[in-house]
Structure 1
């Protein structure tokens, strides 16, 4: 069955065959990093020119408390250095992500990582010196110095950190350890993106397909169960052959999290991770507790899937196959852009105009190529465009990924446009709200466009998958991280056996008795790159929950809700993230928004019928 626009596809790109080299991909599908630096030589000149400016920051050491003028002078100079450093960092890393096999690009990324460490060390005196200034004096400066007033919230936040800021020597030591703290994540990325090779399997047509992480999702949706099983086993058996190495890397990452949390005198690593956003542990607990409390709804969803697919047993490799006929097999990137633009029209003309500008000005790197970093992200700095990396493969899921990542990028655009540099970078907790609001609006748009019961059921099934992957699966990840860190904090060891057994236990609890727990599934923890950015994934759940509230209000109220939402996008980090959300009507410290999300899920399950 095919839908009419926006589902119809023209000249969609095939995901089969060998992965192409980057040079064979047309320029219009490659991001325009030359807008940052026209060439690598320009990057080198900027890098060399910044080195003495980084070192010169240390001349302010010992003088910040002498006057408001001295403090303001350092803040302005630090911002100028940070602006150029952000551009250097983004360019070098994104160039390396184009092809991780190119050693010179890895070397440039490593050099700028070292410069970031050097910058952090040069500024290490800042926090302890500011905290040595009597609070009454600092408050009087903020009230009396017009230039310093801009930094009121920023400096007030610093005062909140007083119990966790160390001496100058200790701060410098921690700053210089920054490279060491990122070794596990970098090693995992290089191992899984560049060095690890997956087997070749045969698709439904009997053609050989080289497995990659990006292709695994598409293959998991194959109507041929043998293809799904072969892909599942090929991916997980490959990770299984590296179980000891990846287990050691993850254990090292967790130990690093614990080291830094203890060094800064936090009660535990979870508290340390939540501190910067001023998020109480009750929010994290609401995520995990809500998922556990409403797990029977996910069990019901899994049982519905088994019944609709007509399977005697449901395995993990059956979870992504469509429960009804998919509208199209592939969607061209051009059609995907149109679908997203039309779906986001409720956000207003300026939003859609900016979205289209991003498409036209090559903010995006679209297709997979040999050596390219897997996955998808939105990234940039205050001095660059908000770029998007994709590995677009023509599925409707990829269309949702496009909407999601452009949600991040337009959030960055509005924040950078309306906030000064010091408040331009919003908290990650808020970033997932913006991206997931786009997904929610896209889903509602497609549901409204459905023309038959069969089409609506396909979309309902897709919405079930969104709840499974964005709410329950990410909550399961959050529970995994909470337990692994607590286990090590209690002097436990993260052996591959322990990790595999716990992962199997979680899958049984979240998906219920209808799902057969195959042995290879227990290795899935080794595939998750987000685990190297500890306690990040719960924000997908809070983002999904808040986004549903925003999308519903925008569609039902129109202009007033849209303006509240755009004001939210423009807010950057000028206040605590939970305060920004509360002003928009979402209180994540309460179970209520999570319960409301599950009520919508239950209603949509009921809509399927028998």
Structure 2
């Protein structure tokens, strides 16, 4: 009976009302095959424009229009195949469809590779004349403006081709790290909560860090970092190689620094990055207070780095069925207006969401889809409050995509990573506010406050510390220095002491944490988590305090897709990330939550 209860259901055993309707994309696989064939037949038409974009405004407009049609077809084909595969990864039919769509994507990319160099090869005055003469080109205004903005950093066709060929070599540090970290690294066995010897793994490490048994936490922590210490020279060499690669590309493309080169893709000035670090550092005393409270609640004389994930609020289990969670979310998001609420109901009723775990289904959660059809959300719902926040998060992404697609032409619909997490986090913040105001049980309220405080710790404080580490490592190479195991560990250990303060023992082992963070191989990315969370927290406060005017601004942001630069889009919503104000505002929310937590404990 127990084995039956633990068995995952097969896809066909899940009630249809809890499965997404991919038929809204393609009625059946035959229709997918027809469109696949259609794209393959249309592709050679791109070749007829090669070398002729400067001939006339009509040629340029025709080429951009055709590329857009091909891209949209490809998006639909790939999304359908991949989402069908995600229903059951063991299904060979959809493994094959996904592979075929991926191969076609390479062909489309290759066939359209001449477009950007040809446009940038035109004299700017001529391109402006073309834009004035051909009304159809107005659709591509922002796209062309963005190409011209980055023109100074685009090299000659021969040099670009050479850089493209170096691309495979430049991914070596990341590939080596991935293989070493995920395939070759072997961790020792430790005793789990039941006293059984189990092998430590990346996945189990997080579980062990959340254990109520301090001996388990300590053993996992020491075993994890001893393994990295044993391999620190290799990890330092790979990270050193990755940072040098970033610096090389920045210099070749005539940027002042690797950080500037990375941020320029979003047209974000480095001051935004510096403001984040400076503002978060100015609020560290509140974070130290949170750590002190953690030490007190856990009943510890000393708080070590292996104690910071242990649950502060014990024995609270907030069970919640999917239907209950979804209806609670709708109540929590009511401040966003009736239209938003009705769309959430429509998503629930009309097959936008794939709810429950089943055999072979892709794990985790995401929101995805193709332009011209409603977005989809994949969940693996479990009956708890954390999963309710996951629904709110993914529906935030889905609604952002819905409004972007509805209001923007295809070329401007796709929003960037910099703003992507804003809509999802606004939903979580509004839902959390509703939950806190409608929960009467003291321990449940403490649990929710702790959940929210932990989000700040993980997304704002921790990611900003990572961002500062990336800044320091790249500056070290840019001034002609070297990154060794000793210098990396020294740099990281000092940051850990700065950010966690005297309330936490910065164990020697934590100095090695740099060796296990995959994000460092995609440099200057993590700061977007912290800025996105801060922007969303500031926006949710505006929505709750101002009401309709703030909601109207926010809806305009959702509808703008990728039609402007991220900072300009956020200004539409009501936050100016070029100033420290949004981060400051968000961290004041953290301080208010901490006050509330402490008052509740004393009541």
Please indicate the TM-score interval, normalised by the length of the shorter structure. 0.7 to 0.9
Deviations 1:167-196 (A, max 9, x none): 233334445665655566567667767887
**Partner of residue 11, structure 1:** none
Runs of at least 5 residues in structure 2 that lack an aligned partner in the other structure: none
- Per the normalisation by structure 1, the TM-score is 0.83
Three-state SS of the structure 1 residue aligned to 2:48 is helix
Give the aligned partner of residue 338 of structure 2: 349
Q: Find out whether 1:516 has 2:505 as its counterpart.
A: yes
CA distance, structure 2, for counterparts of residue 230 and residue 366 of structure 1 = 37
Is contact 2:316–2:443 with CA below 8 Å preserved after alignment? no
Report the 3-state secondary structure (helix = DSSP H, G, I; strand = E; otherwise coil) of the residue aligned with 1:277: coil
The aligned counterpart of 2:306 is 317
Tell me how far apart the structure 2 counterparts of residues 466 and 594 of structure 1 sit (CA, whole Å).
14
State how far apart, in whole Å, the 1-side matches of 2:290 and 2:193 are.
27
The aligned runs of 1:435-450 (5 Å cut-off) are 435-450=424-439
Separation in 1, partners of 2:185, 2:344: 36
CA distance in 2, matches of 1:172, 1:53: 26
CA 1:408–1:260 in 2, change beyond 3 Å: closer, same or farther?
Answer: farther
Q: How does 1:140-539 map to 2 (within 5 A)?
A: 140-175=129-164, 204=193, 217=206, 219-230=208-219, 232=221, 250-325=239-314, 327-328=316-317, 330-359=319-348, 363=352, 376-382=365-371, 386-388=375-377, 396-539=385-528
Instruction: Specify the alignment match of 2:125 in structure 1.
Output: 136
User: Does the CA-based 8 Å contact 1:376-1:388 persist in structure 2?
Assistant: yes
Which residue is equivalent to 1:586? 575
> Are the structure 2 counterparts of residues 270 and 436 from structure 1 closer, same or farther at C-alpha, using a change threshold of 3 Å?
same
- Which region of structure 1 is more displaced relative to structure 2, 405-414 or 97-106? 97-106
Residue 574 of structure 2 aligns to a residue in which SS?
coil
Indicate how the Cα distance of structure 1 residues 466 and 211 shifts in structure 2: closer, same or farther if over 3 A, else same: same
| Cα deviation, residue 148, structure 1 | 1.3
- Equivalent residues of 1:113, 1:179 under 8 A apart: no
Deviations 1:373-427 (A, max 9, x none): 7765444443665444556555544433332232222211211111001100112
1:69 to partner: Cα distance: 0.5
Per the alignment, residue 124 of structure 1 pairs with 113
Contact 1:125 1:172 survives alignment (8 Å): no
- How far apart are the structure 2 equivalents of 1:346 and 1:67? 50
Bigger shift: residues 182-191 or 134-143: 182-191
Offset of 1:52 from its aligned partner?
5.9
Following TM superposition, by how much is the alpha carbon of 1:302 offset from its aligned partner in structure 2, in angstroms? Answer: 0.6
Of 454-463 and 22-31, deviating more is 22-31
Residues 402 and 111 (structure 1 numbering): CA distance in 2 closer, same or farther, change over 3 Å?
same
Q: In the alignment, which residue of structure 1 is the partner of 2:563? A: 574
Contact 2:318–2:444 (CA<8 Å) still a contact in 1? no
Are the aligned partners of 1:193 and 1:374 in contact in 2 as well (CA < 8 Å)?
Answer: no
**1:376–1:265: structure 2 CA closer, same or farther, 3 Å change rule?**
farther
The 2-side partners of 1:417 and 1:377 are apart by 20
What is the rounded CA distance, in whole Å, between the counterparts of 1:300 and 1:435 in structure 2?
A: 28
C-alpha root-mean-square deviation of aligned residues, in Å?
4.0
Q: Distance in 2 between matches of 1:386 and 1:218?
A: 32
1:107 is displaced (CA, Å) by 8.7
Is the alpha carbon distance of 1:455 and 1:330 closer, same or farther for their aligned partners in structure 2, counting shifts above 3 Å? closer
Change beyond 3 A, Cα 1:266–1:377:
farther
In structure 2, relative to structure 1, the CA distance for the partners of 1:333 and 1:182 (3 Å cut) is: farther
TM-score by length of 2: 0.84
Asked if structure 2 preserves the Cα contact closer than 8 Å seen for 1:578 and 1:587, the reply is yes
Cα distance in structure 1, aligned partners of 2:89 and 2:462: 29
Match for 1:63 among 48, 52, 60? 52
Q: Displacement, 1:582? A: 1.8
* CA 1:466–1:286: 2 relative to 1, 3 Å: same
Compared CA separation, residues 410 and 563, structure 1 to 2 (3 A): same
Within 1, Cα distance between the matches of 2:266 and 2:338? 32
